[in-house]
Chains A and B, each alone.
Chain A
Amino acid sequence: MQEHLPDVAEVALHPGTWYWVAGGIFLVALALIVSEKIHKTKVALAAGALMIALPILEQHEAFYSRRFGIDYDVVFLLIGMMVLVNILARTGVFEYAAVRLAKLGQGKPIRILILFVLLTAVASAFLDNVTTVLLMTPVTLLIAAELDIDPTPFLVAEVLASNIGGTATLIGDPPNIIIGSRADLNFIDFLVHLAPIVVVILLVFLGACILVCGKRLHVDDAKRMRLMRMDERTLMKDPRLARRSVAVLSLVLVGFILHGAVHLEPATIALLGAATLLLLMPGDPHKVLAEVEWTTIFFFIGLFIMVGGIVKVGIIGDISELVIDVTHPTAEDMSLTASLVLWASGILSAFVDNIPYVATMSPLIQDTANAVFHGGAADSAALPYETLHHPVLMPVWWALALGSCLGGNGTPIGASANVIVLGIAARAGTRISFLRFMAIGIPTMVGTLAISHLYLWLRYF
Chain B
Amino acid sequence: MFVQDAMLPDPLTVSPDTSVADFVSLVLGSNQTTGVVLGPGEQILGVVSVLDVFRRILPSYIDLRRDLANVFHEGFFDEEFAALRSVPVKSIMTTEVQTVGPHETIMRAVQIFVYDRNKAIPVVENDKFVGTVTRRSVLRRVTAELA
Q: Which residues of A are at the interface with B, using a C-beta cutoff of 8 A?
A: 92, 95, 99, 134-135, 137-139, 141-142, 145-146, 226, 229-232, 234-235, 237, 424, 427-429
Contacts and interface: CB of A to CB of B under 8 A. Distances in A.
Nearest to B80: A145
B59 A234 contact: no
B147 interface: no
A428 B62 CA distance: 10
A234 B65 contact: no
Given A226-B73, A229-B73, A142 B64 contact: no
Query: B interface, by DSSP: helix, strand, loop or mixed?
Result: helix
B61 interface: yes
Contacts of A428: 59-61
Contacts of A229: 73
Given A146-B73, A226-B73, A95 B59 contact: no
Contacts of A424: 60-61, 64
Contacts, number: 51
Given A95-B65, A141-B59, A424-B61, A235 B73 contact: no
A351 B64 CA distance: 27
A142 B71 contact: yes
B68 A142 contact: yes
B61 A235 contact: no
B60 A95 contact: no
Interface of B: 59-62, 64-65, 67-68, 70-73
B32 to A, nearest CB: 30
A138 B65 contact: yes
B68 A427 contact: no
B67 A237 contact: yes
A230 B70 CA distance: 9
B63 to A, nearest CB: 9
For A95, A137, A142, A237, the residue with the greatest tally of chain B CB atoms inside 10 Å of its CB is A142
B71 A234 contact: yes
B79 to A, nearest CB: 10
Nearest to A222: B73
Nearest to B59: A428
Contacts of A141: 59, 61
Contacts of A95: 65, 67-68
B119 to A, nearest CB: 25
A363 B62 CA distance: 43
A146 B64 contact: no
Contacts of A92: 67
Closest 4 CB pairs of A and B: A138-B61, A234-B70, A226-B73, A427-B60
A400 to B, nearest CB: 33
Contact of B72 (A137, A142, A427, A429): A142
A145 B71 contact: no
Given A134-B64, A237-B67, A142 B73 contact: no
Nearest to B75: A226
Contacts of B67: 92, 95, 234-235, 237
Given A146-B73, A226-B73, A229-B73, A139 B59 contact: no
Contacts of B71: 99, 142, 230-232, 234-235
A117 B64 CA distance: 20
26 contacts: A92-B67, A95-B68, A99-B71, A135-B65, A137-B64, A138-B61, A138-B68, A139-B68, A141-B61, A142-B59, A142-B61, A142-B68, A142-B71, A146-B72, A226-B73, A231-B70, A232-B71, A234-B67, A234-B71, A235-B71, A237-B67, A424-B60, A424-B64, A428-B60, A428-B61, A429-B60
A96 to B, nearest CB: 10
Contacts of A142: 59, 61, 68, 71-72
A21 to B, nearest CB: 44
A137 B62 CA distance: 11
A139 B66 CA distance: 11
A132 B68 CA distance: 16
A92 B70 CA distance: 12
A427 B56 CA distance: 12
A95 B62 CA distance: 12
A138 B62 contact: yes
Contacts of B64: 134, 137-138, 424
B125 to A, nearest CB: 37
Nearest to B73: A226
A226 B61 CA distance: 20
B75 to A, nearest CB: 9
A235 B68 contact: yes
A457 B72 CA distance: 50
A106 B67 CA distance: 22
A125 B132 CA distance: 55
Nearest to A226: B73
A137 B70 contact: no
A409 B59 CA distance: 27
Contacts of B65: 95, 135, 138-139
B68 A145 contact: no
Given A141-B61, A234-B70, 11 more contacts: A92-B67, A134-B64, A135-B65, A137-B61, A138-B68, A141-B59, A142-B59, A232-B71, A235-B68, A424-B60, A427-B61
Contacts of B62: 138
A234 B72 CA distance: 11
A427 B73 CA distance: 22
